[in-house]
């Protein structure tokens, strides 16, 4: 029984061996193997194809890009059910520029950050970017950066808690801008725990409370020493009391 080839012309019938091979593979005559589910032998839905080289289903979704252009994103899923679910959800939620690297976004958004802070702050952010944020996250895609990644980076960055907080602030400003531009749904850096100084604080390193001052003055007899101690406490000069103490 002759079958006419739609691609090669109606005057070139297919050979019987060719037809048998297609039927055995489950591919419709004139069809493409990537458009057929190898498990069910049925045609795949629009926007989904089977990648034999990856043994996965590829989902293609179109959406509006950062500059208003029509963009396409593709994702690979293990099962057809997952692919269908992703296609349904992604039509509403996909963010085409989520694959942009942080390096690319920094080059675009840094002028906005720099113009919105004081020069000294901008210099600090620039150092934080070059020494900590860029080496750790610069090559990463926006959508691949998680809260766990950020907290791990904070733990492994060198420097004091204040220095690492500067790096976290720089990263957070970049991700905030991406969220406002619609590249990200939310800024994960806002949920990361800020680093704290792990050194134990002594009660001697802080200002005494009102009750402590009262108890301290009550323990000193009336006279010039008590007046001198009160002056140090109430004028805030207690931190320089060593300079006023007589040499031993």
Please identify which residue in the block is written with the tokens 């103490």: 245
**Range name among 15-29, 57-71, 199-213 with the lowest pLDDT average:** 15-29
Apex CA 84: angle with CA 82 and CA 36, to 5°? 100
Confidence class for position 108, pLDDT limits 50, 70, 90: very high
Q: How far apart are CA 105 and CA 94, in angstroms?
A: 18
Q: How far apart are CA 135 and CA 128, in angstroms?
A: 10
Chain Cα centroid distance, residue 107: 16
For residue 123, how many other CB atoms are within 10 A of its CB? 12
Q: Taking the complete model, does pTM exceed 0.85, yes or no?
A: no
Q: How far apart are CA 180 and CA 178, in angstroms?
A: 5
Give the tokens for residue 10.
């109606």
**pLDDT > 70: percent of the chain:** 69
Per DSSP, the three-state class of 9 is strand
Section 238-247 average pLDDT: 47
Q: How far apart are CA 119 and CA 127, in angstroms?
A: 12
Element housing 59 (H / E): strand 56-64
Contact residues for 77 (Cβ-Cβ < 8 A; gap 6+) = 56, 57, 58, 59, 83, 86
In tens, the pLDDT along 140-155 reads 988 789 999 999 999 9
Q: Measuring CA to CA, which residue among 52, 37, 41, 42 is closest to residue 83?
A: 37
Highest average pLDDT, of 24-33, 151-160, 222-231, comes from: 151-160
Contact residues for 106 (Cβ-Cβ < 8 A; gap 6+) = 129, 134, 138, 174
Q: How far apart are CA 107 and CA 100, in angstroms?
A: 12
Give the tokens for residue 37.
């589910």
In tens, the pLDDT along 114-171 reads 999 999 999 999 999 999 999 999 999 887 899 999 999 999 999 999 999 999 999 9
């Amino acid at each position: 029984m002759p079958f006419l080839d739609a691609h090669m012309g109606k005057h070139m019938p297919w050979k019987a061996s060719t037809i048998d091979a297609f039927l055995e593979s489950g591919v419709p005559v004139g069809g493409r193997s990537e458009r057929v589910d190898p498990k069910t032998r049925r045609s795949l839905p629009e926007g989904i194809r089977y990648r034999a080289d990856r043994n996965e289903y590829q989902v293609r979704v179109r959406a509006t890009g950062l500059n208003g252009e029509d963009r396409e994103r593709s994702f690979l899923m293990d099962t057809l059910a997952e692919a269908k679910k992703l296609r349904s959800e992604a039509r509403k939620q996909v963010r085409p520029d989520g694959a942009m690297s942080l390096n690319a976004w920094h080059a675009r958004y840094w002028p906005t950050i720099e113009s919105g802070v004081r020069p000294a702050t901008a210099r600090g952010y620039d150092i934080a970017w070059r020494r900590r944020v860029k080496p750790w996250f610069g090559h990463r895609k926006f959508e691949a950066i998680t809260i766990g990644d950020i907290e791990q980076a904070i733990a492994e960055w060198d420097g004091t808690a204040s220095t690492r907080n500067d790096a976290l602030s720089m990263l957070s400003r970049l991700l905030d801008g991406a969220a406002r531009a619609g590249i990200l749904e939310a800024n994960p850096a806002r949920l990361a725990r800020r680093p704290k100084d792990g050194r134990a604080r002594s009660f001697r390193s802080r200002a005494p409370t009102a009750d402590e001052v009262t108890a301290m003055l009550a323990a000193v007899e009336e006279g010039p020493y008590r007046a001198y101690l009160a002056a140090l406490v109430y004028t805030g000069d207690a931190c320089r009391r060593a300079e006023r103490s007589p040499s031993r």
